[in-house]
Homo-oligomer: A and B are copies of this chain.
């Protein structure tokens, strides 16, 4: 078995070792089935059980009522950027978008192809270093929905509570922080999330959709782009990403066994807390990009005094087995992505590395 590194990638990202081991053990032949999970029919009893496990896992973790469909689709959050407006904008034909980063902007771009879009708020002028405050939101009470991005991987910002949007359905791209803590699903019309951070591998997108919103989906939509197709066929209209859903079943089982989302949140607070402490206690050597009250628990972004030092930092970090720390080009500097599966001891080791690096170069 190969040694594993500290995986701080923004996504696809680290998964629980226990899940990887279980998947590895079963990869040649699922117990009692005699075929690999890569070979089973999506219409088989074996897959029925896997799909039920994945759905129930999501349902239990987020305490989702029967008012919602839980769907596993393909095409990532990027295809949801189109499917959301195509399905949910009619008949009002207008929606509110809150812009907190590149991903919000990509969602906005596709929505504009479908209907009228109101930018309820944007922090782009400040390079997305913060989440807008409630009183900054210019909401249209007649909008079809309000769309926002709960966590912004590139900038390291995160909404700490949902925007208040009254009776307008709230639609959230939670790709990069779903499952990081408990939420009240009843506040949402829809949540969607690419799996490749806290849920599972890439190639599946989770969509949780309030059932009454399906009424908006027009029959004129292309079959695969219509939420009704997938809801009415329990994600089995066509062959889904069987392996991806299998890993989601294992990940949700693992999360439930390990204390659920409250336990995750506690560890996430501890992990991010250590790293933010190292930044704040560095006497200005490390400088956080995000405003303190907008800081993300999943992606921590900071700069060093110079780009040369930033390069030295990531080079030495890579040698020390911390992988994926280079910041996105639109922010620069360093980004540490510490999703659910990233261990506390990894955060401790990173902080030790940060402190030593500062001592030698500060």
Contacts and interface: CB of A to CB of B under 8 A. Distances in A.
Interface string A166-199: 0000000000000000000000000000101000
Contacts of A77: 238
| Contact residues of A: prevailing secondary structure | loop
A21 interface: yes
Given A34-B3, A321-B34, A74 B203 contact: yes
A20 B38 contact: yes
Interface in A1-39: 1-5, 7, 9-15, 17, 20-21, 23-24, 27-31, 33-36, 38-39
A109 B13 CA distance: 38
Interface stretch (A155-163, A219-227, A265-273): A219-227
Category for how many chain A residues contact B? 35 or more
Contacts of A78: 223-224, 237-238
A30 B3 CA distance: 10
Interface stretch (A209-217, A241-249, A353-361): A241-249
B27 A4 contact: no
A203 B243 contact: yes
Interface string A69-92: 000001111110110001000000
A2 B244 CA distance: 22
Nearest to A1: B28
A341 B4 CA distance: 32
Nearest to A237: B78
A256 interface: no
A322 B117 CA distance: 55
Given A24-B28, A74-B75, A9 B201 contact: no
A120 B310 CA distance: 62
Contacts of A240: 202-203
Contact of A39 (B12, B41, B76, B238): B12
Which 3 A-B pairs have CB atoms at the shortest separation, nearest pair first? Answer: A203-B241, A2-B29, A5-B34
Interface of A: 1-5, 7, 9-15, 17, 20-21, 23-24, 27-31, 33-36, 38-42, 44, 74-79, 81-82, 86, 106, 109-110, 113, 194, 196, 200-204, 220, 222-225, 237-244, 247, 321, 323-324
